[in-house]
Amino acid sequence: MWELTEEQRRAIAAAERRALGLRAEARARIDASLRAASVDEAGYREAVARLREQGRVALAFHPERLSRSGRTVAEGLLADGAYRTQFETGLSSGSTSAFAGGERDEWERRLFDGAYHRPDAVLSDRPRYGALFLVAHPDGPAPRFGSCYFVLRPEVSRRCTFTLLGSQDERSRESIGTLEVLEPTMAAVLRHVEEEPAPFGVPGLTVRGLVAAMRAGLPGAPRGVTDDRLGRALDTFVEAQVHGPVDLARDVEALVVDASFRGSPVADTLAEIASTYGFSLAWHPGFTLAAEAVPETFRDYPTRKLAERISASVIDAPAIGAASNDFVLNPDAWRSFGSPSEIHTCFRRLWHALVLLGAPSDPRPEPTSG
């Protein structure tokens, strides 16, 4: 059984205190959303009860990327049997600012009232970042953060805090919640569904539709093959901050892998991870895009130029990863793309363009294990 450190308990308590302070206003917003959608209170309560019982978090990652230890992420996971924090690995699929005084450090200070900034705090105590499953997509609830993902057991969600969208957003403190005090998060979720055309990767999703889907049962661990209905939920997700360690043998229910890695050494390592630590491995369809089909720019970064530097034919997760690793090992060769920070962001934007625009690389991949 895991035990939280004093810092982790303080962080969860700080989030829960804030959620309690927001609860009354959030409850009123939830009631208004339910009335507007003609959803009865009993049905909503049943949906939330399902979430508390079955809610699972996915931790996304790029398995081929090199960490500051010189190992790939997959090699580190196999050797350590643990999913480590950004502060330990030096890797992030979001902001690369997980260091003292960096943006990530300040976001955590703001969100958790300085709980992780006590003099005796250690880097391994910091949260791990994932996303909460609300609807079932084979590519996971937040594919922007990685081509592969772990599905955590429902009990891990009890030591998570949640915000709508990323914790870097100034509004994150207004949507923070826990499974015990979930109202601020759910109020923000329902408003998001009301306002967005494709919330959580589902075009036309309504409050009534979301509540009905949650009542019917939340996504569990996939077994074997996943289908080709990619969610591409690039910008719409509930972030989960996982407090305490993530032990692969104890906390992981399944590993889901981008089909672009099939037949590669990375896939072999991922299969060994699943076998060693005792959980299933499934494939999702993955993404592939002709280099010439990559947009000239994606969110203000020169993605076509980068794609053509990487490959004359097809862009997929392994191709982007190999180029990103080459940048880490040979930074001078990539100077034409800007500063190190700009290059990191350009790689992220290319991955995001691939998620949004790519075709399934393998619509019906075969299972590796189950």
> How many Cα atoms within 13 Å fall on the side-chain side of residue 67?
21
Contact (CB, 8 A) for 348 and 275: no
Q: 3-class SS at 80?
A: helix
E-assigned strand segments in the chain: 57-61, 82-83, 128-132, 148-152, 160-164, 238-242, 246-247, 252-258, 280-284, 288-290, 314-316
Q: Read off the pTM.
A: 0.93
What CA–CA distance (Å, rounded) separates 324 from 64?
9
Measure the CA–CA gap between 185 and 200, rounded to whole angstroms.
14
Q: Determine the Cα–Cα distance for residues 358 and 361; give it in Å rounded to an integer.
A: 8
Cα 370 to Cα 33, 83, 140, 255, 258: the distances in Å are 40, 21, 18, 10, 16
Tokens at 45, concatenated: 């309560």
3-state helix, strand, coil in the chain (%, to 5): 50, 15, 35
pLDDT at residue 370, as a whole number: 46
- pLDDT for res 101: 66
Give the three-class secondary structure for 91. Answer: coil
The C-alpha atoms of residue 28 and residue 18 are separated, in whole angstroms, by 17
Q: 104 with 166: CB under 8 angstroms? A: no
Chunked into runs of 10 residues, the chain (370 residues) has average pLDDT values of: 86 97 98 98 97 96 90 96 83 55 81 88 88 94 96 97 87 94 98 97 96 90 72 95 97 97 97 98 95 96 96 96 95 93 94 96 57
Q: What is the pLDDT of residue 165?
A: 83
Sheet strands (E) in 308-351: 314-316
